[in-house]
Structure 1
């Protein structure tokens, strides 16, 4: 049994105990509520002190039961989030893509925002979407975390940034209990109305209260009048002036009805603001604890101006006394305690008269908007930093759960990518076949030949996925990997577009043109000294939509353009004539994958693949045999 499975079993046992307690509390709540109703009814009817005591005792017992029951239910909610988090971690290990997609964290992938170039790269390499690198990596439950992680997986970076991220990832990977607490709290916030994206949007909106400032003196006025009316009722009761007491009571009822009507019809937007800014006292405290998690990052990062140091400064403050996100959220927690009176049954009886006679929500909003005025300029930066921290936490889980994977080595003065034991990170460990692959240096390319289904495309994606992991700051699915600063360009999954009148062949040409243009732009930038990145291209069976001879000429021309621009990369083909093209032979180191045909017990041919890469051009083809296997051979 894995560690995650044993933790899930323990939590499920605790949940059953809490559910039993919740059921018992529900029964006692009903009993005490019935006692309260009976006590009030009989005390009004008989004026007997015993029934008054029954009503008072039932009320106290009911409130105590409600408070204890709410504590149990909060604990149940946290344990459920804890269990869901562990189930997701376990599903990642098992590559259970259906479970990952159904999980609430997996569903949030719909919020990813990518540029068209990033979308093309992501589609080619399975960086986002179902059964993708994002789905494998992500433990992000908030919108900033989801978008930051997806952007990291689809964007090139320079080695210092990748190294800084990786150092933080390794540091966090060694803190599994802290990370698990972070994931649970983030999931709790991500499922609430106070999601960071809504919070940031609210911080940029104008305050609601200034155009309605008259509500503050009105609330003060009604509060003073209510106090005077209560005094009038007391005096009337003492002096026996029942009419005066009755009039005072009617006045109180009128004020309460009027203020509650104002609360219902005019303060609707205020309730929406409360749902965003302080969905609950717990959610605000969760934010503060998530911001405090920046203290788990390395205290002395290698680059004092790097992203790790920036996250720590933003969320924790610095020695110069600047206001930190954590401090700001704890101030908001004080406001949330005021606003939380109506959120629980135990304090609602206190909230009701405060709202009815003093417009309590307006008081809370005044403090809330005062807080926003102090911190609004910093709030977007807080949540950007939280998104980066959540992305690091996600990658740290992959680092922790993949101890056999290695750390990438960045070689800024080289132009060769070397993989020792390259594996596909999305495959299960027992299904993964590894190969040693070298791509580069500049002036060369890797030509991968082989039959259908032999593993050519899988090898391309394995290389691209591991480069994406390295740039995001993660571990790589290799025994060893070294690479220079690169930007990827791919043409692997291309489709026609009927809505734009673009054929498959034209769509491929457009994609290849973008790859070549990108390589040339990088070459110009290197010449100008503004970058040292080179393009790393991955091309899979390109230009299949034309005849063989023209295809050979076109492919050789595209590859010559890329090599002349200083790009390195790999291209696959099962066209053996293409592999013999003289132009390509000058540029390419040729390797191949192959199949093996063996008879089974009944004498029928059986095709198997070992997915191992070998030097040279593929000596076999299998298209006609595959036709026979699927029943389309000659009769």
Structure 2
């Protein structure tokens, strides 16, 4: 039974969610411990083969020495062939153990990252700060990107393309059909947590590389080398080893003149390599930087291709790779580039190049591969990016099994209903609320004292809607939502760089909001304390005028305010405006907040009490 199934059974038995979290963390701890043990085992194996390689290298030097002493190229020919075979086998085996060691070290990191995410909110993956944009409709106000953000909570994408994909999904709502397709894919990946963790581990190398690595890789696959004389060189490379070995044997058994011919053939081979040196250096420099990456990506493609997918989108992505035999072709190229690297190993490289024109041979084979594989590999790498986005959206489903997949409504009016909805970024004892907007056009005025929970509630509705419309589960017991466009007016800042006062910044944001309501698809606005940068009378009159204009445009959303006069709009527009409030209780001079949304308007405010706590008494006039 995998971790997700176990947690579902715990949830079904009504064990408190805190116990579920402890079980999830314990499972990650056990997985991390086992990964470390395996890493230590393979490290020891790799070290053993490294010593054996050193022994083979010493034997090669001895063979060369014996050849000089005995003046017999037979010793050189036979000895070197056998030792080269042994050396290549040892290199391959050591490489295998080193890859297994690195895999299990990364597996430990991936599991420990989930523990850190659950316990402290930290994440080894990118937090998306580069996508921050204060002029976006909602991402800045709702903490979508940056430290302690939604992106930081969910992101498990290692590639730059995967990061871009996830950021795009969280920056704009998808249509209903796309959301449902994503939900299905996310559910399938969440139900296969072992596959998810293993695939994350195989991709973790990409998080350590620079962002331009993928661009260089794709450019290399698309750029031909144009090697002059490639046709006759291909023919000569095939026969050159037989000629050289034949001359060496003939020199040993027939006549020493053949040995001279063998030496001349070796010099010819080296001269050809020198003549094509610029091509070899150019190809080697490019290929050397991407060889390891290619091998790693091939493993990831194989992981996707080896699974029988049931969800529609995952199956479609699988078919794209399978039809083009992506993993097989990338593995083939990776092996060719890896063989090219053999020519860089001192004495081994020299012998390979003299006998087999090794570097030139591999470059010609690589160019043939590139010509014979003209499939759109950029599309193949985009498949990985989309799987990374699905993996990221599956994180809440796995780590927070009390979260639910929302119902996507298809109503004429706006629908946004939720049971026990809470803010996903609040750690510890977060307070949940219920909210209902069912197939209607309404503006909800939310009043309340300072720190009572108005702003947090607006952000709770907004951030969960962003999750819902990206295809992810939400932090609620139930949720139903229309496909809407969130537009927020919350954190308004002045700008010295743009010579913008707070009031001017507020006007700009209001202008954007009103234009969005008029032109964008089904805008749902979140306004927190309008027109803070002006006096109280202008603030009230301006806020009232804005809300009335929003009503005239059939705008839908929430307005949080301290101004009780705004609540009187419910009297003027009883079919359109609803009043809600967050309450405060004062017991023996202490303020108690329950952070629960209630119908009606607030009657209790706390500014005087807060000022009194810092030594300022406010006298009534």
TM-score by length of 2: 0.83
CA distance in 2, matches of 1:259, 1:68: 29
Q: CA deviation at 1:152?
A: 1.1
CA distance in 1, matches of 2:282, 2:290: 12
Change (3 A) 1:482 1:186: same
CA distance in 2, matches of 1:411, 1:270: 55
Aligned residue runs from structure 1 range 462-611, under 5 A: 462-522=460-520, 533-580=521-568, 586=574, 587-597=576-586, 607-611=591-595
1:131 equivalent in alignment to 2:144:
no
Q: Give the SS at the match of 2:500.
A: coil
Change (3 A) 1:226 1:54: closer
Once the two structures are overlaid, the 10-residue window that deviates more, 54-63 or 560-569, is 54-63
Aligned residue runs from structure 1 range 177-576, under 5 A: 177-189=194-206, 191=208, 196-202=214-220, 205=222, 207-210=223-226, 212-218=227-233, 220-221=235-236, 228=243, 231-241=246-256, 245-246=259-260, 248-250=262-264, 252-253=266-267, 255-256=269-270, 258-260=272-274, 262-263=276-277, 265-275=278-288, 278-279=291-292, 282-292=295-305, 295-298=308-311, 301=312, 307=313, 310-316=316-322, 324-325=323-324, 327-343=325-341, 352-353=353-354, 356=357, 359-372=360-373, 374-375=374-375, 378-413=376-411, 414-428=413-427, 430-439=428-437, 442-522=440-520, 533-576=521-564
1:14 equivalent in alignment to 2:29:
no
CA distance in 2, matches of 1:343, 1:608: 69
Q: Give the SS at the match of 1:425.
A: coil
1:621 equivalent in alignment to 2:605:
yes
Q: CA deviation at 1:461?
A: 1.0
CA distances 1:418-468 after superposition (whole Å, capped 9, x unpaired): 11111011122x321101123476442122222222222111111111111
Q: Compute the RMSD of aligned alpha carbons.
A: 3.7
Contact conserved, 2:448 with 2:561, CA < 8 A, in 1? yes
Contact conserved, 2:46 with 2:97, CA < 8 A, in 1? yes
Query: Which residue in 2 is equivalent to 1:530?
Result: none
Change (3 A) 1:606 1:26: farther
Q: Give the SS at the match of 2:370.
A: helix
Contact conserved, 1:422 with 1:435, CA < 8 A, in 2? yes
1:167 equivalent in alignment to 2:184:
yes
CA distance in 1, matches of 2:487, 2:161: 26
Contact conserved, 1:415 with 1:442, CA < 8 A, in 2? yes
Query: Which residue in 1 is equivalent to 2:5?
Result: none
CA distance in 2, matches of 1:200, 1:565: 49
Query: Which residue in 2 is equivalent to 1:90?
Result: 115
Q: CA deviation at 1:358?
A: 7.1
CA distance in 1, matches of 2:491, 2:201: 36
106, 124, 142: which one aligns with 2:126: 106
CA distance in 2, matches of 1:440, 1:553: 30
Q: CA deviation at 1:393?
A: 2.3
Q: Which structure 1 segments of 5+ residues have no match? A: 302-306, 317-323, 523-532, 600-604
Q: CA deviation at 1:340?
A: 2.2
Q: CA deviation at 1:309?
A: 5.9
Contact conserved, 1:66 with 1:346, CA < 8 A, in 2? no
Contact conserved, 1:592 with 1:614, CA < 8 A, in 2? yes
CA distance in 1, matches of 2:504, 2:362: 61
CA distances 1:563-612 after superposition (whole Å, capped 9, x unpaired): 3222221121233444456788755322222444556xxxxx65453322
Change (3 A) 1:384 1:609: same
Q: Give the SS at the match of 2:141.
A: helix
Q: CA deviation at 1:517?
A: 0.9
CA distances 1:44-90 after superposition (whole Å, capped 9, x unpaired): 447799x9999998777655544332221110111122112212222
CA distance in 2, matches of 1:294, 1:559: 53
Once the two structures are overlaid, the 10-residue window that deviates more, 399-408 or 540-549, is 399-408
Once the two structures are overlaid, the 10-residue window that deviates more, 533-542 or 22-31, is 22-31
Number of residue equivalences: 587
CA distance in 2, matches of 1:455, 1:90: 29
CA distance in 2, matches of 1:160, 1:225: 61
